[in-house]
Amino acid sequence: MTYLESYQNWLEQENLPAYLRQELEAMDESQKEDAFYTNLEFGTAGMRGIIGAGTNRINIFVVRQATEGLARLIESKGEEFKARGVAIAYDSRHFSPEFAMESAAVLAQHGIKSYVFESLRPTPELSFAVRHLNAFAGIMITASHNPAPFNGYKVYGEDGGQMPPADADALTNFIREIADPFSIQVADAEAAQANNLIEIIGEAVDAEYLKEVQSVTINPDLIEEYGKDMKIVYTPLHGTGEMLARRALAQAGFDSVQLVENQLTADPDFSTVKSPNPESQAAFALAEELGREVDADVLIATDPDADRLGVEVLQADGSYKNLSGNQIGAIIAKYILEAHKSAGTLPSNAALAKSIVSTDLVTKIAESYGATMFNVLTGFKFIAEKIQEFEDTGSHTYLFGFEESFGYLIKPFVRDKDAIQAVLIVAEIAAYFRSRGLTLADGIEEIYKEYGYYAEKTLSVTLSGVDGAAKIKAIMGKFRDQAPASFNQSPVILTEDFQELTATDAQGQVTALTTPPSDVLKYTLEDGSWIAVRPSGTEPKIKFYLAVVGDSNQEAEAKIAGIEAEINAFVE
């Protein structure tokens, strides 16, 4: 079916809501093509797209189709799994409550129970709820840190992690079998609640989650002495973090948390920021204003679904420094390992996990404490799989996992990134450095002096539409077939192709990679630097990850600049 035929098919549907029909009728040719040239696909973490009419948009019919696929997957497993049901949560975005209830209504039509949160909740609490309720799966309606026009749909497996590849592939196949999303039947939501097929949940699950969060604190005496009156500024950036972060900080003993009042309200337009992304310093503008007013030690922001955390730290000149995701990961890892070592509680089989595109600095830190670092593909579900493997085999004790994209998990009662946990540990680390008369900025410098000056940068290029998808494919092909032999005058000594599962050294010797296949290329250089290239699994982007190490910050930054210039020239 061409995009115009698909467009016309939508326009002719009698059950099309008025707002979608009006949008269709207002489309020009380029908008029609972009909305209908393809179907919104599942990536590393579900699907994510612009809200609106069309097969390449997210709307009630695309949500119904995805949920119908999930219902068929559950039915294929038997009655026990239907009874266990699905936990459903949503964030503060446009249509999030509607998409959540549409999902529950589709499941109810199949006799599958769902547990739907009464109002918006963080993604990590959804992960927790799947495990706590012994549900078979979870659905999280969120577009994470994307701008206001987006929403998304993430599916979780019974371990609370994003659905693993085998089930995710089966789910995708069930979804693709549905030729007509307009024919999907949905139950009456009120009747389903009366029949207990839809159960509304809330505070009881919150309380159980917060009880588990208490275990994140390593040194309560430190917080009692140095954390109670420490000025912390927190903003949820109009998202779900407000539901739990403040309560978690209060129960841990942080009594002087200052809140960015204008950003506490759940606002689907994110009206005080250009983008609700805690990776960006621009998102901290109001937090910085408040920080200067109250002389705050640390500023903390969570994204709309509270799975990612951003941090800014006070510097000697009174300004605030925006930490990278890798720097946050390094300072958390160092603190956890040192605190356990000092307390005599560091396991002999301690393990950390990170994505293959995250900094090697944390690997070096882990090894200095005798801990093992496990490198996994991008996508927190692969860290969740490692946690489950450790629990099943008893081979290692999980202490910390992270991705450079500002995702962290300390305690595995959740199996996805958890910014609520990360808020707590960062606050405790700030109290630790305060006890030494230092700041988090000093802590980062201490790490660099001990382990080397590591620097990383992610280049993210958005290429939307039909042409964009073709360009991304062409760029990956060019790197795969014609990659430079060196970057910044340092020869490539190892090329890893995670799609072909090969690792080729400078002499042409090939060994096999043991990860699942993924469209990622990684080049390791003679000087210890590396470059990785991958298309995003949930957005029309191609990403370049640059990582270097030098004897000084200036040397490291110069290496980054040199590699960035060469990549830009190669791509263009």
Contacts of 128 (CB under 8 A, 6+ apart): 160, 205, 208, 209, 212, 413, 414
Using DSSP, state whether 504 is helix, strand or coil.
strand
Per-state percent for the chain, helix, strand, coil, to nearest 5: 45, 20, 35
DSSP 512-534: E--SPP-S-EEEEETTS-EEEEE
Please state, in angstroms and as integers, the Cα–Cα distance from residue 533 to each residue in 311, 376, 516, 519, following that order. 26, 15, 17, 9
Sign of the dihedral defined by the CA atoms of residues 321, 327, 328, 334, in that order: negative
Q: Which distant-in-sequence residues (6+ apart) come within 8 Å of 370 by Cβ?
A: 346, 348, 350
Q: Exposed (0-12), middle (13-18) or buried (19+): which is 555, by Cβ within 10 Å?
A: middle
Q: Is the dihedral of CA 246, 249, 254, 258 positive or negative?
A: negative
- Alpha-carbon separation of residue 572 from 305, 478, 558 (angstroms): 35, 11, 21
DSSP 25-66: HT--HHHHHHHHSSPPPPBTTBEEEEBSSSTTSBSHHHHHHH
Angle at 420 between CA 416 and CA 424, to 5 degrees: 125
> Which among 103, 114, 144, 529 is annotated as catalytic?
144
Look up 348 and say whether it is catalytic: no
Distance CA 398, CA 400 (A): 6
Outline where DSSP puts E strands in 395-529: 397-403, 407-409, 453-462, 486-487, 490-497, 502-505, 510-512, 521-525
Q: Which residues are catalytic?
A: 144
